[in-house]
Amino acid sequence: MGRGKQTAAGRSDLVWYAAYGSNMHFDRLAYYLSGGRPPDAARTYPGCRDSARPLRTAPVFLPGQVVFALESHAWTGGLGLYAPDVGGWTPARAYLMSAAQFSDVAAQEMYRETGSHLDLGRVLAEGRATFGPGRYETLACAGNLHEHPVLTFTCAKPPRAAELNSPAPDYLRHLASGLAEAHGWDARRIAAHLARRPGAAGRWRAADIADLIGSPAAVARNHA
């Protein structure tokens, strides 16, 4: 079967990669798949062994919350980190891809070389697996969707209060465009959601975020 006609039916090598940060915007994820440097980025991505588009995408909600903490190498300011053990729900975008593709996307987030398969056995069995001390070197499983596991990555330990850090404007714009693209939210709902995240709360007002992002549809077009 040709790649263009490939389906998920009967395949056991597929996982859902749940993006809750800038990769909710597909054009951002495309650099992880095909390689290259996103506009205004400081980093060039090597891409995946298999650069095919995901087989499917779906809007999802992950149990837990995203907090803004530490310092982003790509954006400056705080970066989004998923805290699955905190109450609430996190909007995300799930991409159905091969385990090899997911391994290469994860390797790029972990600042490792691509080309090796991550051992997913532990995360699938226990719900979490840590591969190193880095901020995105812990995998988390949020259950299954259409018989395939939903995986994402975050840090090993929840950030301390002292590590919370306000996100940069460009990062918020990318998150906004991703939320609009994946969930169809309007600017008001996006701004209210982002302004409540730890690290942004008390530093960004919802009204200021709404002014910053303008129309999420326009933001998505500008970053395409």
Q: Which residue has the higher pLDDT, 38 or 167?
A: 167
Q: Calculate what percentage of the chain has a pLDDT beyond 90.
A: 83
Domain residue spans in the chain?
11-163
pLDDT value of position 218: 53
pLDDT value of position 43: 86
Residue 2 has pLDDT above 50, yes or no: no
CA atoms of 64 and 84, how far apart (whole Å): 4
Residue 4 has pLDDT above 90, yes or no: no
pLDDT value of position 1: 25
Residue 127 has pLDDT above 80, yes or no: yes
> What band does 41 get if pLDDT is binned at 50, 70 and 90?
confident
The structure tokens 């992950």 sit at 62
> What band does 217 get if pLDDT is binned at 50, 70 and 90?
low
CA atoms of 32 and 145, how far apart (whole Å): 23
Give CA separation, 138 vs 24, 118, 155, 183, in Å: 19, 11, 5, 26
> What band does 74 get if pLDDT is binned at 50, 70 and 90?
confident
Is the pTM higher than 0.75? The answer reads yes
What would the mean pLDDT of 77-83 be, rounded to a whole number? Answer: 95
Give CA separation, 43 vs 31, 87, 132, 191, 219, in Å: 11, 34, 21, 27, 21
pLDDT value of position 39: 84
At the fourth CATH level, the homologous superfamily of domain 11-163 is Gamma-glutamyl cyclotransferase-like (3.10.490.10)
Residue 71 has pLDDT above 90, yes or no: yes
pLDDT value of position 10: 58
